[in-house]
A = this chain, B = another copy of it.
């Protein structure tokens, strides 16, 4: 298979961690007889420095021509401390999301057998957890009409959803559930909100097209409880933008390995795969950053971007092996143990593919 991948390394530790993912992807491609065509493009502060724009048109063209985008991180402290900056790296992210039509954020939460003690939850609560939250990313209260009335003393925000927006997100959820444990949970507040009732009736109408999937409907406050009590009971969760914003973050801490979590954003035109951690500028250029979240994002790219599940599983297996054998960067090494460099971890992973 020909895999055309746009490579957007971005800022801070972005380039270093993306480099390791490239090594791993190339090793996997070699083993499975795929051909990878990488095209690098500028984004973030790096793009501002080069062409004055955090998501230049040339970068957009590279993304549009690609089958998938592998993304590092964006952001530089220079802009945070400069209130006069007229253009900021993070604007690139927003522009990119909009122009690529990224409508679904996919956030898995799972555990690593050798890191399970890092979880704030007890072992018996978190063991076996392997869930995905699909968050709608372009609708809801973050994009509705908002404003002030009564001389600024009353403020309002509007949450709006259309049946089509819900169908698009829910279809992805049903399909993901089909490739997993076939359980789908639709999270809403349908006992109160009209938009939630539209979510629920739309998903209910779609059940007949996916008869193998067991669908449940739960209220967002109940899910906020159950994610702490019994996270392993979930498979695929679908939900609207605001609820997803809250629940994905809550879910990200329960594994105790937030720094290792990958993500993807599914788009109309193309999809993007990136670690949930940021650009971590303090560590940039030191060859100490943990590359595993980016490597695991590449695994998601194989599975969800190219439909190549075996390749994705192999990456995950090798990552777990590196953790079990202590081939890890300083953040995971533990006192008295050898800490490997970012590049050494990447080399080891590629060699063990």
Contacts and interface: CB of A to CB of B under 8 A. Distances in A.
Contact of A122 (B121, B141, B157): B121
A228 B246 contact: no
Given A162-B153, A163-B153, A194-B155, A246 B229 contact: no
Nearest to A165: B154
A221 B249 contact: yes
29 contacts: A120-B229, A121-B121, A121-B122, A122-B122, A141-B141, A141-B159, A141-B192, A141-B193, A150-B162, A152-B198, A154-B162, A155-B198, A156-B158, A156-B194, A157-B158, A157-B193, A157-B194, A157-B195, A189-B242, A189-B245, A220-B245, A220-B246, A224-B247, A225-B249, A225-B250, A225-B253, A228-B250, A228-B253, A228-B254
A181 interface: no
Contacts of A249: 221-222, 224-225
A341 interface: no
A305 to B, nearest CB: 26
Nearest to A160: B156
Contacts of A161: 154-156
Instruction: List 4 A-B pairs, minimum CB-CB distance, nearest first.
Output: A155-B198, A146-B194, A224-B250, A221-B249
Interface residues of A, number: 49
Interface in A131-168: 141-142, 144, 146-148, 150, 152-164
A157 B159 contact: yes
A154 B141 CA distance: 14
Highest count of chain B CB atoms <10 Å: which of A150, A228, A245: A228
Given A121-B120, A142-B192, A225 B198 contact: no
A338 interface: no
Contacts of A146: 193-195
A245 to B, nearest CB: 5
A242 B163 CA distance: 23
B247 A155 contact: no
A23 interface: no
Interface in A217-257: 220-222, 224-225, 227-229, 242, 245-250, 252-254
B195 A155 contact: yes
A189 B142 CA distance: 10
A197 interface: yes
A222 B253 CA distance: 10
